Amino acid sequence: MPEFEARTVKEAIDKGLEALGLAPDDAIIDILDEGQSGVFGMGGRPARVRITPKGESDQVASSTDEEPPADQETSEEAAETSPESDIVASKETVAEKNSGETEEELVILGIVTEFLQGLLDRMGLNAAVEGSVLHDGDEPTYRLNITGDDLGILIGRRAETLDSIQYLARLVVNQRTHRWHRIEVDVENYKQRREQSLQRLARNMADRAVSEGHTIVLEPMPPRERRLIHLALRDRDDVRTESIGEGDDRKVTIIPL
């Protein structure tokens, strides 16, 4: 099973998903080592993750030697990592707004909602978190949409701030439940609108590449947006897509066939 290393866990996950051509929902992600910064560039170690395409493995461990599965913890350790009072509070946070979810789903939704609302309150933002559970595959997707006024600060350049908030939300849930769950955080449905815009861009640029008979190079994009371009055009037989460049300058090219 492929393993990937990078400076941070987020970078390692992005690197692995792009290398395997997978979207986050199509992969099982195990954090093997969260890495360490080191001092003055010395003594650190990279973060390391294992990424397995769904369907290739019937069962993949969801934690590392440093973080044993919840069912192997002692009752004392479980009490320290997941206090009963926190679980009850998390369930009550969303119980009135959701119906049809399992108790576990309500707990997870409550944990991430509580984390995000606390973050917003500490930032002094007049905003609220709307949570829902989507059952569109083998595992549920927890979608959190932040609504309010003047929330551009939560999105940031190329949605980097929003991606970081989503990563932190996933990490909080992972540490509380000892499992990696599908957590999607959005602000005023920005991602949905951006996805639709990128799909239109992909189709238009593909048509242009075919009609003009030359490769079209798009602007640099983060991994998530590059994947959307690849996915939007993967079923076309008149173009193919490739990613070129390094780091923040990595971009998608659309090549006519």
Averaged pLDDT score across all residues of the chain: 80
- Convert the pLDDT of each residue in 1-59 to its tens digit: 678 888 888 888 888 888 777 788 778 888 887 776 544 444 467 888 888 887 665 44
Which structural domains are found in the chain, ordered by start? 1-67 (no CATH), 68-188 (3.30.300.20), 191-256 (3.30.1370.50)
User: Side by side, which strands form the sheet with 216-217?
Assistant: 216-217, 251-256, 239-244
Separation of alpha carbons 133 and 101, rounded Å: 7
- Convert the pLDDT of each residue in 48-91 to its tens digit: 888 888 766 544 333 333 444 444 433 333 334 444 444 444 44
**Cα–Cα separations (whole angstroms), residue 181 to 39, 105, 151:** 32, 10, 25
Residues 6 or more apart whose Cβ sits within 8 Å of residue 3 = 16, 32, 48, 49, 50, 51
Q: Which of 82, 119, 74, 75 is nearest to 104 (CA)?
A: 82
**Cα–Cα separations (whole angstroms), residue 103 to 86, 88, 89, 94:** 14, 10, 13, 11
* HSE-up (13 A, CA, CB side) for residue 219: 4
- Give pLDDT, residue 100: 63
Unique residue bearing structure tokens 């701030």: 161
Can you list the positions of beta strands (E) in 86-212? 127-134, 141-148, 182-187
Q: What residues pair up with 39 in beta bridges, in sequence order? A: 42
